[in-house]
Amino acid sequence: MNAGGQQAHGSTDVAILAALRREPGGFVSGTELAARLGVTRAAISARVRELRARGYDIAASPQLGYRLEAAPDRLVGDDLLAQLGSGVVIGRDIRVFQETASTNDVVERLARDGGREGVVVFAEAQTRGRGRLGRSWVSPAGKGLWFSVLLRPRWLPGEATRLTIMAANAVARAVEAAGVAGVEIKWPNDLLVRGRKVAGILIEMQAELDRIRHVVLGVGVDVNLERCDYPPALRDSATSLKLATGRAMDRPALAVAVLRALEADYRRLREGRFPEVAAEWADRCDTLGREVVLRVGEREVRGRAEGLDESGALLVRTEHGRIEPIVGGEVRLAH
Ligand code: BTN
């Protein structure tokens, strides 16, 4: 584990937070909690004091026990674990850094050290967050969701494009469920609201010719950024969920929703249900059915974006009438 990473305890705090969250608005008996966890009431009370110091507002009543009044606007690994529950792959281990260069780098190191599939690393701030095509990614403290997930699918390298599709679809679904209208996907995996980018996904892979070693799935969601958080050059093309909806959003709740959506869609992929996920992606995608210009490395491909193939590649009917599968690059609409 890198210095500076706060590793979730996976123990008493997770169990206390899970019990409190199971009773929204209600009390949880300290005696029952202590018995269930096999610790003393004094130990529970000490952990509650510690949780309060971490920003949790927990009411205590001698007769009734404890009640969660409010949680801090911070990402707390124990609390995310408590809400995801056991039995998940994505988020079975969650680590939160106050600041790191790039969560993709942290997860890459964990992967090389033999880390388990599903470990998630969040950072409240990234100093060298990066986007696709060598761009940098603005990641100010406490304003977004900047995280990476380690995946180890037993697929051919060419099939990794499916992860791009599933991640965009999952993040879009979670953002919509949080009450944001008009979320669209721009191929391959940008999330736009009213034409401006609110989230992006960076997939990095280590593979041999015939097998994926591991994939680092990096997700950046601009949640509560203000206009002044963006450099002037991005102010017309990027936005945050707060700027788009006019209200600040609960980041930790959105983090849980995004991780649950990723878990559900990654499971569907493992069960061979990629076509289902791809159909949902297509419904949200503003690129399909349009005349597009794709920049693929040094090459430019012009044509009509017709759909996805079974590996997740974009099928483009080119000017010459041929169908060409495209796995990465940048798209713009042709005029
Ligand atoms: C893009 O749209 O260009 C992809 C942006 C991906 C940003 C996320 S933030 C968490 C993770 N760490 C990084 O350095 N990048 C990704």
Q: Rounded to 5 degrees, what are φ and ψ at 231?
A: -65, 150
Index of the ligand 1 atom closest to the CA of residue 197: 2
User: Could you tell me the distance, in angstroms and rounded to a whole number, from the CA of residue 8 to the centre of ligand 1?
Assistant: 23
Cis peptide before 188 (omega within 30 of 0): yes
Residue 175: per-residue pLDDT:
98
Structure-block tokens of residue 162 = 């499916």
Closest residue (by CA) to atom 15 of ligand 1? 130
Q: How far is the CA of 69 from the centre of ligand 1 (A)?
A: 33
What is residue 1's predicted lDDT score, i.e. its pLDDT? 39
- 136: amino acid identity, one letter: S
Residue with the smallest CA separation from ligand 1 atom 2 is: 200
Q: Within 10 A of 239 (CB to CB), how many other CB atoms are there?
A: 22
Tell how far the Cα of 265 is from the centroid of ligand 1, in angstroms.
Answer: 20
Label the pairing between strands 190-193 and 323-326.
unpaired
Predicted confidence at residue 2, as pLDDT, reads 40
Nearest residue by C-alpha to atom 14 in ligand 1: 129
Q: Which atom of ligand 1 is nearest to the CA of 147?
A: 10
**What's the CA-to-centroid distance between 126 and ligand 1, angstroms?**
10
Residue 278 C-alpha to ligand 1 middle, in angstroms? 22
Report how far ligand 1's centroid is from the alpha carbon of 57 (Å): 32
Which pLDDT does position 118 carry in this prediction? 98
Q: How far is the CA of 22 from the centre of ligand 1 (A)?
A: 33
Write out the E strands in the chain.
5-7, 57-61, 65-70, 93-100, 119-126, 144-151, 183-186, 190-193, 196-208, 211-222, 291-296, 299-308, 314-318, 323-326, 330-333
Q: Ligand 1: residues whose CB is within 6 Å?
A: 102-104, 126, 129-132, 135, 137, 139, 146-148, 190, 200-202, 218-220
Gap between the Cα atoms of 226 and 210, Å rounded: 45
Question: What does the pLDDT profile of the chain (335 residues) look like in tens digits?
Answer: 344 455 444 589 999 999 999 999 999 999 999 999 999 999 999 999 999 999 999 999 999 999 999 999 999 999 999 999 999 999 999 999 999 999 999 999 999 999 999 999 999 999 999 999 889 999 999 999 999 999 999 999 999 999 999 999 999 999 999 999 999 999 988 999 999 999 999 999 999 999 999 999 999 999 999 999 999 999 999 999 999 999 999 999 999 999 999 999 999 999 999 999 999 999 999 889 999 999 988 899 999 999 999 988 999 999 889 999 998 888 988 87
User: Are 327 and 301 spatial neighbours (Cβ–Cβ below 8 Å)?
Assistant: no
Mutate to test the pocket of ligand 1, among 96, 97, 104, 258 (most ligand atoms within 8 A of CB): 104
**Residue 282 in tokens:** 């297509």
pLDDT of residue 188: 87
The atom of ligand 1 lying closest to the CA of 139 is 9
Q: Which residues contact 120 (CB under 8 A, 6 or more apart)?
A: 80, 90, 91, 93, 94, 95, 147, 148, 149, 150, 259
Cα 166 to ligand 1 centroid, rounded to whole Å: 16
* Mutual angle of helices 161-177 and 274-284, in 10-degree steps: 60
Q: What is the pTM of this model?
A: 0.94
Helix, strand, coil % (nearest 5) of the chain?
35, 30, 35
Taking CA atoms only, the protein residue closest to ligand 1 atom 16 is 218
DSSP E strands: which ranges in 107-168? 119-126, 144-151
Query: Under a CB-based contact definition with an 8 Å cutoff, are residues 34 and 12 in contact?
Result: no
- Tokens at 236, concatenated: 């017309």
